Amino acid sequence: MEPAISENDAGAGGEAPAPYDSTIVRRFLVWAQRADAGGRAEAASALARAYLYSDLSPALRREAGVGLTALLDDHSTLVRRALAEALASASEAPHHIVLALACDISDVSCAVLARSAVLSEAELVDCAAMGDVRAQSALASRPRVSAGLAAALAEIGARDAVLALAANLDADLRAGALTRIVERFADDADIREALLTRPRLPPMLRCDLVAAAARALSAFVASRGWLRAERAERIAREAREQGAIEVAAASRANELADLVRHLRASGALTIALLTRGLLCGDRALFTQALAELSGLPPARVAGFVRDPRGNGFAALYGRTGLPAAYLAAFRAMLLAIDECRVAGADQLSLPLVGRVIETCENLKAPDLGKLLALLHRFEAEAARAAARDFAAETIADAQAPQLTLLAASEEAPPLTLEGPAPEPGAAPPAELPVDPVAALDEAA
């Protein structure tokens, strides 16, 4: 409840003086000596609103400012928090008061740290360095977090503060700050999820987060003894490759170059990754990888890739350092993309994989043994994915008429089929078979 502000009885009966006369500060300070914390908090809020929104004379405004400043020394957190709440959203709040409140304990400071537009970026960064996790989280949740403040929180912020920063889509998180967050918290599932929801996360960081998630899952499965460590690692590696393919498929040309460079630097630009990309029907990642490995311009490399039978492609391949024995296999993959008319995607194409396996087996080259083993694993993966998609479509098609009939039955009156009453002792009518497998067996 707001303290009474009647000018006739201000200062009497234990009520706070009205913030409308020239003796406001003196009367307020005298009254505050005998008021409890709750009363002082209400009076502090009223005085702040009077300062901000009342039509005060310059002299009275200065005196009200002195009164607000005096409240900074109130020993009650309740009073200082009420003052912070009243001033937090006001662009006309006195700077020195807001700064003092921002440097107070978290119970007081969080309101101004989260909302005040009075503080400069340098002051906010200093508050981030000096504040605890609650203060940092308040800074991270501001309606607009500047690039400098975001970088400071990414560097020194506690885990909960960085999570709030990553989830704040209005935070100006530049590539350097995002990289630092990934370096510090790539193993934190909540922060990974928050970062992956950001619309313009750089592809190389998205790829790193996918790899971190795969590592975490592999370690968890291995620690539980559900799979051998070697098998868990293979599953994680395949998940990282699939994630890289999906990220590459969604990347623009200039982003793809950075992604390939990053994959090469991290040791993830492997034969398996390049093979998976081509067997998804996408030449872009392979083309950019050849450009990165050979040092030739991407446009020139793309011309050679379009003619994989030519000598130019063979010469280009020789500059990359890829195994010479795999030249024929990569030629087969590029040719099969056109023959199977596979559009670029982020999933393995079963017809494309089958065509490449057939070609490689006809080559009868012993050096292709490991690659053929990889291709057969991809074939099994593609077959399972195709079967999974077929099953999902079949179930959806089967459910569609049932949903239509259900909707119609809700609108129309129920229908009953009545026949003649069965004779006493007669056998019940035969039921239709509900097991399709049993029905097929009987038909056979």
Give dist(CA 327, CA 317) in Å, integer. Answer: 7
The torsion angle over the Cα atoms of residues 74, 75, 79 and 85, rounded to 10 degrees, is 90
Rounded distance between C-alpha atoms, residue 162 and residue 158, angstroms: 6
Exposed e or buried b for every residue in 361-372, given b needs 16+ CB within 10 A? Answer: eeeeeeebeebb
Question: Are residues 53 and 33 in contact, defined by beta-carbon separation less than 8 angstroms?
Answer: no
Given a cut of 70, is residue 433 above it in pLDDT? no
**Where do the structural domains in the chain lie, given as residue ranges?**
1-105, 202-268
The whole-angstrom separation of Cα 240 and Cα 268 is 9
The residue count of the chain comes to 444
Average pLDDT of the chain to the nearest whole number? 83
CB 221 within 8 A of CB 234: no
Computed on alpha carbons and rounded to an integer, the radius of gyration of the chain in Å comes to 35
Extract the tokens encoding 88: 């937090």
179 with 236: CB under 8 angstroms? no
The secondary structure of residue 171, as a DSSP letter, is B
Enumerate helices (H) and strands (E) in the chain, giving the number of each: 23, 0
Q: Look at 9 and 37; give whichever has higher pLDDT.
A: 37
Q: How far is CA 373 from the centre of its chain?
A: 36
Contact 289, 269 (CB under 8 A): yes
Calpha distance 226→354 (Å, rounded): 32
- CB half-sphere exposure, 82, CA atoms < 13 A: 23
Q: Give yes or no for a contact between 80 and 101, defined as CB atoms under 8 angstroms apart.
A: yes
pLDDT tens-digit readout, 73-92: 989 999 999 999 999 999 99
Which uninterrupted H or E stretch holds 288? Answer: helix 284-294
Identify the pLDDT of residue 438: 44
| pLDDT, tens digit, 9 for 90 and up, residues 394-419 | 888 777 766 665 555 555 555 444 44
Q: Which residue has the tokens 């406001």?
A: 24
Which residues, 6+ apart, have CB-to-CB distance to 99 below 8 Å?
118, 119, 123
Q: What is the DSSP string of 341-372?
A: TPPP-SS--HHHHHHHHHHHHHHT-GGGHHHH
Q: For the segment 245-282, what is each residue's pLDDT rounded down to a tens digit?
A: 988 888 888 889 999 999 999 899 999 999 999 999 88
Q: Calculate mean pLDDT across residues 189-194.
A: 94
Alpha-carbon span 5 to 37, nearest angstrom: 18
pLDDT tens figures, 38-57: 888 998 898 899 889 988 88
pLDDT greater than 80 at residue 23: no
Q: What's the average model confidence in pLDDT over 290-319?
A: 94
**279 vs 333: CA distance, rounded Å:** 7
Q: Any idea what DSSP says for residue 326?
A: G
pTM given for the model:
0.68
Which amino acid, residue 391? A
Rounded Cα–Cα distance for residues 203 and 210 (Å): 10
pLDDT-based confidence at 1, cuts 50/70/90? very low
